[in-house]
Amino acid sequence: MEGHMKKLVFILFLGIIPFQNNIGQKTHSDNGDGTFTNPLIFADFPDPDVIRVENTYYMVTTTMFVFPGVTILKSNDLVNWEYCNNAVPRMNFGPCYNLENCNRYAHGQWATSFKYNKGKFYLLFITLDEGGFICSAIRPEGLWEIKKLPRGFYDPGLFFDEDGKIYVAHGYETIKITELDSNFVAKGKDVDVFKGDLAKGLEGTHIYKLNGYYYLYSTYGGPNGFQVALRSKNIYGPYEEKVVIRDTEGPNRGVHQGALIQTQTGEWWTILFTDNGPFGRMPSLQPVRWEDNWPIAGINGKGVVTYRKPNVGKEYPIKALPASDEFNNPKLGMQWGWNHNPDSTKWSLTQSKGNLRLNTVKVVTNLRDARNTLTQRIFGYYSTSEPTIATTKINTDNMKDGDVAGLAVFQDPYAYIGVKKMNGLKYIIMTNNGIAIDSVPIHKSTVYLQVAATNQPGKALFSYSLDNQSFTKVGNELTIKFNLSVFTGNKLCLFNYATKSIGGSVDFDWFRMRGRDNK
C-alpha cells in the first residue's frame, strides 16, 4: 500500500511543482524514428571504453572518487543503455578513500580499459596515487575481483594478441608498449613506440588488430581534443599516424578518446566523448568508414549530431537511465554512488521502511569533508533549455544540534539547500561554496528541497516547500563549473553531516529528477 501511495503522490507532484513544461521532455538519445541524437547520454560518462560480446555491448567509464564506482553500462543497439554494474564497490587501498584527513577528488579510478578474453571480462585502470589495478569477472553483472598490480600504466589499453601474448599500451605524450605476463605484471621494460607530434597530450590509447595491422587508437585530449589512429605491422612499430576525427565547433567540438566497435552486421562505429559543460563529459556515437585501412569517423570531417542508428540486426526498445528513487527497495539503485567510501554502518534503507536514513558519521566543518554523501549524475534534456529539476522529501525529527542535512550541487564551487539545527531550532539554509547566504526559521519536521540546474549556461537555483505545492527560492544563484580540482561533472547530493557531535539522523522519503522515470 505504501508503494502505491508514493506513486500516487508522485503523479500529483508532477502537476504542481514549477517548470511543468519539463514533463515528457526528451531524456534519451533514441528519437524513435530510426535515428539518434548526440550526446549518446546527456550526463557525465567520460573516458568510455566499449566492447561487444556476442549481441551485447558493454561500456565502462571513469568515476574517480565515487563508490560503488567503475560504472559499467550495457546495450543491445549502442544507443539505448542501461546500468549493468558498478565493478568496484569500494576502494580499500588507503585512508584518503575514507576521507580520513585527505581525499581523492580529481584522483581515484582513471580511464579504464575493457577487454573480454577466453570467457572472462577484464578491467585495467590506474589511480594516480596508488598505481595499477586489474579487475576480472566471469559475468559483468556479477562480482568483480580486484587486484592491485606492482605498477600502474597511465591511460592503459589492454590487448590480448592472437599468439597468447598480453600487452598494454600506455603513456602521455609518448606512447609505450609493455608486454605483460599472465598476472598482468610487466615482463620487461617499456618500449617507446610513438611520440605525439600534432599537439600536446597524446594519451587514452586502446589497441586493436585488424587486417594485419596493430592500431593504437589514441587521443590528443582536452576541450579541443581530437582522435587519431596509429598503425603498424609490428606491435612495437614503427607507427604511422592519421587523424580519425577533428571537430572544432558545435556540439561535437573536441570529440575524442574512446573505442572502436564493430556491429554484428559488420558496421563500424566509435564511441568518444566531449567536454560538454558543467554537467560533465558525455559520450558521443559516431559512424566509422575505412579508407585505405584507416578508420575515419563522422561525416565530412564533422561529428554527427542526429544520424541513423547502428544496424545490429533487429530493433530494440527505447530506454532511459533511471535517476529518481522512491527508496522502497532494500538496495540502492545503480545510479547512486557515494562521495568516497561510505561508512556502511551509518546509512540504511531498512531502519525506516520506505526511506533512506543517513546518520551523521563524523564531525566536520563543510560538505567536502562529509562522509556518506550520496551522489548521482545530473541529466540534461535534448529538446529544451529548461533546467533539470531535482526535489527530495526529508524528515528532520532526529537531527541533533549542529547537524546539517539537505540537497547539494557538488563540484568546485558547490552549493546546497538544507536544514540546520541550532540551539534546538531548525532553519532552512542556503550555502554557496562554504559561505552561508540565507537562513529561514521553520517549525515543521518534514520539508521539500529543490534544485533547478542548467548546463548551458551553468546555473543552479535552490528552493524549499513545506507542503510540496508552493516553493520559495532561498539564497543566491550558483554558477556551476567543470573544474579540474574535482574532475567529474556536477553531482546532485543527499547529505547529513554533524558540526558538533554525531548521533543524529535524517530520513529521505524520495528523490525525483524531473523528466525521468515519469510514471
Instruction: Tell me the residue type at 9.
Output: V
- Which DSSP category does 9 fall into? H
Q: What's the CA gap between 504 and 513, in Å, rounded?
A: 27
Kind plus residue range of the DSSP H or E element containing 296: strand 294-297
Q: What's the CA gap between 137 and 141, in Å, rounded?
A: 9
Q: What's the CA gap between 97 and 108, in Å, rounded?
A: 8
- Which DSSP category does 101 fall into? S
Q: How are beta strands 505-513 and 478-479 bridged, if at all? A: unpaired
Of 519, 450, 446, 460, whose CA–CA distance to 489 is shortest? 460
Tell me the backbone φ, ψ of residue 198, rounded to 5 degrees: -105, -20
* Active site annotation includes 203: yes
Contact 497, 410 (CB under 8 A): no
* Active site annotation includes 326: no
Of 457, 458, 459, 460, whose CA–CA distance to 449 is shortest? 460
**Three-state DSSP state, 11:** helix
Tell me which residue has cell 548546463. 455
Tell me which residue has cell 543491445. 76
Q: Which three cell numbers stand for residue 372?
A: 556518506
Residue 214, C-beta contacts closer than 8 angstroms, at least 6 positions apart: 207, 208, 231, 232, 233, 234, 235
Buried b (16+ CB within 10 A) or exposed e, 124-136: bbbbeebebbbbb
DSSP E strands, 368-483: 374-377, 388-395, 403-410, 415-422, 425-432, 435-442, 446-454, 459-465, 472-473, 478-479
Tell me which residue has cell 571504453. 49
Q: What's the CA gap between 257 and 242, in Å, rounded?
A: 15
Q: Among the options 203, 275, 325, 386, which is catalytic?
A: 203
Kind plus residue range of the DSSP H or E element containing 85: strand 81-88
Q: Among the options 44, 47, 130, 275, which is catalytic?
A: 47
Of 221, 274, 213, whose CA–CA distance to 241 is shortest? 213
Contact 276, 329 (CB under 8 A): no
Q: What's the CA gap between 131 and 154, in Å, rounded?
A: 9
Of 302, 265, 276, whose CA–CA distance to 287 is shortest? 302
CA angle (284, 332, 419) in 5-degree steps: 100
Active site residues: 47, 203
